[in-house]
Chains A and B, each alone.
Chain A
Amino acid sequence: MMDGTEQTHWTKDERQAAVKDSEGYVTADGRQIGGVLMELRNITLRFGGVVAIKDISFDIREGEIRAIIGPNGAGKSSMLNIISGFYTPSEGELWYKGSKRPPMKPYEVARMGVARTFQNIALFEGMSVLDNVMTGRLTHMKAGIASQALWWGKARDEEIANREVVEKVIDFLEIQSIRKTPVGRLPYGLKKRVELARALAAEPSILLLDEPMAGMNVEEKEDMSRFILDVNDEFGTTICLIEHDMGVVMDLSDRVVVMDYGKKIGDGPPDEVRQNQDVIDAYLGVAH
């Protein structure tokens, strides 16, 4: 898929930005980034007459932290919804782990190793923190209904084995003390962390974070940034995030896609994007 024969649709600039080198690259802080894990080709998304996303192409490489930024209504969340299978693009292709992904249901996408968090916290309020994080392991549990009803054999073994994985995640995100608390009683910042824990428990190949720092104070933002870096560092998880806080994005991410009015106006390392005239115009406005 990397030989470029199917990519004739792309403009030269887009190709340069997306495929710098098929072997990966080394980041500013010396991390080796691998080959392409997911590639979006000429994605267009229409809702009736409204074009939410217009002919966007970019890729996400193994082990990198990829950010999608843009002003409100630029189509960032729609993009994430396409990746997680919630929307089906009107046009364009999505390649994942070297093969074209056919249109599929969100739960099938999740089972292929795509986990996500939500802009507005989407935890299961009626359950404890532990149970919420355990739901992240659903795709790894296969015991039949009879075994579960008897709590014997495969179901019990799975329950314990997956609990161990979940406890590692709980430990990692430092939420041990609240593991039996009902989620509804937690403050906002902790809920965000529990949501991250649930996504991490699935051991995803690619983790999508939809505004992980929305509505947080500076300290909470710092904590969350640290967790995101640690997740990437410790588990080697590929992360694709949407964020509004420019400082955070520029510090965290290896490469940034900039969107405006559903179009891609920039793509590259943070420093390069910062210099991009279109990006400056989109964020600061243009004198008319």
Chain B
Amino acid sequence: MLYRTAGQFKTSYQADQALFPVRQDAFLLAVILAFAWVIFPLMASEFAYQTLLIPILIYSLAALGLNILTGYAGQLSLGTAAFMGVGAYACYKLVTLMPWLNPVVAILFSGVFSAGVGVAFGIPSLRIKGFYLAIATLAAQFFLVWLFEKWGWLYNYNASGAIQVPNLEMFGVYVAGPQASSVTQYYVVLAIVTLMTLLCINLTRGNLGRTWKATRDMDIAAELIGINLMRSKLTAFAVSSYVVGVAGALFVFMWRGAAEPNLFDIPLSFRILFIAIIGGLGSVLGNYLGAILIVGLPVVLNTLPEALGIPISSATVEHLNIMIVGSLIIFFLIIEPHGLARLWALIREKLIIWPFPH
């Protein structure tokens, strides 16, 4: 009943193509945005910012980037972490070479570099697909991490071999580095993630999105209806790597504060791939749901026994945690192989026709 769409008539194609043709969707999003922009910042602790809010947003963005490539354009990639690394190192070089640069501009611009690298490593996709392409992107993963380690210019030849985020100011407020407050960083991340999400939604529902989906669903038919597969795949690599690169820059500059090359190693790639798969390939919402599950659940499980006063050692909690998260992932994939986003879509569909079954 709450989700009844009866009576919501569309009288123009523009209205039918609106971002949220169903009124309840728009309302739900408004509530979520109100929480994200107003209510969370009012009540969040330092711990919540650092372990939940900021990382969930950054991981969602990285998964969104991967989802454009894998979920929408159908090109499997295992090199996400390396492309995040390109964004992070590019951002580091930008702010150290040009200290006067606005940090947000630097973060948004660093994505351009990872887009370029992404396109270069996307070229094999023109000849190979599926698992073979995944192996090719794995080459990018190993090569780039190796490069981050060996190319001293990237980390300004400092002795530790790691990049350290300097204090960066914007309009008199520190937004990155040791002096920046979590609230400021949260708002910067939230603003960038909101903007990116909006742009990605528009891209995926428009002409380019249809081109990608056609390439994913049946490449031969796509080519015969006039799609240039090379362009379709390479734009997917470019847009995806751009978003992933921005996420990488945020990852280091707005959250970690420092990074060593092995931070961008393959476990991070897999983590983001899991988020995208569990959230739902080919959906924007899914990335958020997946990130909440993969990033948020362990935190909640870690703090739960203590909050309830159950005396378990932290090592046991850690182990239990891995078991519970693992089994939940399997559980969700069994009840809905297309991810949490599809689960929500089915629930929504049921709600619209409720109380009738059909």
Partner of A125, one of B202, B217, B239: B217
Q: A143-B207, A148-B206, A149-B199 are in contact. Are A84 and B17 (CB under 8 A)?
A: no
A148 touches B203 (CB 8 A): yes
Cα distance A264–B210 when bound, in Å?
40
B296-323 interface bits toward A, Cβ cutoff 8 Å, 1 = contact, 0 = none: 0000000000000000000000000000
Report chain B residues within 8 Å CB of A123: 217-218, 221
Q: Is A32 an interface residue (CB 8 A)?
A: no
Which B residues are in CB contact (< 8 Å) with A127? 210, 213-214, 217
Contact with B along A88-127 (1 / 0, CB 8 A): 0000000000000000011100110001101000111111
- Contact check, B227 vs A138: say whether CB atoms are below 8 A apart: yes
Contact B210 A131 (CB under 8 A): yes
| Residues of B close to A124: CB separation below 8 A | 213-214, 217-218, 221-222
B337–chain A nearest beta-carbon distance, Å: 14
Give the residues from 199 to 227 in chain B that come closer than 8 angstroms, CB to CB, to chain A: 199-200, 202-203, 206-208, 210-211, 213-214, 216-218, 220-227
CA distance A135 to B200 in the complex (A): 19
Instruction: Establish whether residues A111 and B226, one from each chain, have CB atoms under 8 Å apart when the complex forms.
Output: yes
Partner of B210, one of A135, A143, A151, A155: A135
* Given A125-B217, A126-B216, A151-B202, A110-B207 contact (CB < 8 Å): no
Total residues of chain B contacting the partner, CB 8 A:
32
Main secondary structure of the interface of B (DSSP, over half): helix
B206 in contact with A110 (CB, 8 Å): no
Q: Mark A183-195, 1 if CB is under 8 A from B, else 0.
A: 0000000000000
B207–A138 CB distance below 8 A = yes
Q: Are A155 and B206 in contact (CB under 8 A)?
A: yes
The distance from the CB of B212 to the nearest CB of chain A, in whole angstroms, is: 10
Q: Across the interface, do B223 and A106 meet the contact criterion of CB distance under 8 Å? A: yes
Q: Which chain B residues lie closer than 8 Å to A198 at the CB level?
A: 225
Q: Is A266 an interface residue (CB 8 A)?
A: no
The contact string, 1 if C-beta is below 8 Å from chain B, for chain A 146-166, is 001111000110111001100
B70 contacts the other chain (CB 8 A): no
B11 touches A (CB below 8 Å): no
| Contact code string B67-83 (vs A, CB < 8 Å = 1, else 0) | 00000000000000000
B228 within 8 A of A: yes
Q: A151–B13 contact, CB under 8 A?
A: no
Task: Say yes or no for A139: interface residue by CB 8 A criterion.
Answer: yes
Does the CB pair B208–A148 fall under 8 Å? yes
CB contacts (< 8 Å) of B221 on chain A: these are 118, 122-124
Does B235 sit at the interface, judged by CB under 8 A? Answer: yes
Nearest residue in B to A149 (C-beta to C-beta)?
B199
What is the distance, in angstroms, from A6's C-beta to the closest C-beta of chain B? 29
Question: A116 vs B211: C-alpha distance in the bound complex, in angstroms?
Answer: 17
Residue B229 is within 8 A (CB to CB) of chain A in the complex: yes
For A118, A148, A167, the residue with the greatest tally of chain B CB atoms inside 10 Å of its CB is: A148
Docked Cα-Cα span, A202 to B224, in Å, equals 12
Report the separation of the CA atoms of residues A131 and B216 in the bound assembly, to the nearest whole angstrom. 14
Check if A141 is an interface residue, CB within 8 A of chain B.
Answer: yes
**A136, CB-defined interface residue at 8 Å:** yes
- B binding-site residues for A, Cβ under 8 Å: 13-14, 16-17, 19, 199-200, 202-203, 206-208, 210-211, 213-214, 216-218, 220-229, 235, 239, 282
11 example contacts (A-B, Cβ-Cβ < 8 A) are as follows A85-B224, A107-B224, A118-B224, A122-B221, A127-B214, A134-B210, A135-B211, A136-B225, A143-B206, A145-B235, A163-B13
Residues of A within 8 A of B (CB): 84-86, 105-107, 110-111, 115-116, 118, 122-127, 131, 134-136, 138-139, 141, 143, 145, 148-151, 155-156, 158-160, 163-164, 167, 198-199, 202
